[in-house]
Amino acid sequence: MLIGKHAKATSGICTADQESITIRGRDLCADLMGRLTFTEYFYLLVTGREPTTDQRDFLDLLLIAIAEHGLTPTAVAARMTYDADPRSLQAAVAAGILGCGTVVLGTSELCGEVLHRAKVRVDAGESVEAVTSDIARTTRQAGSKMPGFGHPLHRPVDPRAQRILTMAEERDVSGLHVALARAFEPAVAEAWGKPLPMNVSMPTAAVMLDLDFPVAMIKAIPLLGRTGGLLAHLAEEQQNQIGFLMASHAEEAISYEPAEGQSPT
């Protein structure tokens, strides 16, 4: 029994025979290997197109920007998992990636959705300022967080975010999505009654959308970049095991307190 919707029984990514491997219509060994960088190859795999110079350079920039940020929850989860089973490197990487959600690392996906909706309204005739102000205000009134704004460490600015936007403007690749990201800064400050730092997720989405990257695959950028960072943590964990040490510190930091009604009478 066939369940759910389905398309044609085809795939356009890869095929292989005894003598060759074909990726997106190109011969892997005779063409791609030795010609493309991994960043270019990733772009080709995801979109089916080879990137322009700007698309390659900014994808590379963003992968570098997001790859590493210290002992984040993703890195902690990966290191502890590795110590629990040192023979399962893949499980440790997976543990870290599974923690990439809408609070940690995965917010670029939400930023992409917000920017896409905002662009639709601007394309329909509304002004950038009116759209961003309305979205920020309604988000605040709903008691929700504004994707791409706020950071526990980087205040008043996230240096990565400003670097990305500045480079996009210097290279003349910024378009409507970057303009919307910039306009959200004062709109969010007004809605929240104080300035909130734009974090790296907003310009990640804005720049890549201006460079014609698929909105549904924006989250792939932090996932790929952070995988490199996790592998670095696991390489270090092999030489300097701190996963169990972090676990012991967590036990020391959190005290046991019975919930009401659970204490013995």
Residue pair 135/183 in contact (Cβ under 8 Å)? The answer is no
The whole-model pTM stands at 0.92
Give me 31's structure tokens: 């063409």
How much is the pLDDT for 263? 67
What pLDDT does 265 receive? 57
* C-alpha pair distances (Å), 24 with each of 17, 48, 224: 15, 6, 20
Instruction: State residue 261's pLDDT score.
Output: 74
Return the pLDDT at 121.
98
Mean pLDDT by 10 residues, the chain (265 residues): 84 96 98 98 98 98 96 95 96 94 86 97 98 98 96 89 95 97 98 96 97 96 96 97 94 89 68
**Cα radius of gyration rounded to whole Å, the chain:** 22
For 181-189, which contacts have Cβ atoms below 8 Å and span 24 or more sequence positions?
181/111, 181/115, 181/148, 181/205, 181/206, 183/128, 183/129, 183/132, 184/132, 184/135, 184/136, 184/146, 184/148, 184/149, 187/129, 187/132, 187/133, 187/135, 187/136, 187/137, 188/136, 188/146, 188/149
Backbone phi, then psi, for 91, in 5-degree steps? -70, -40
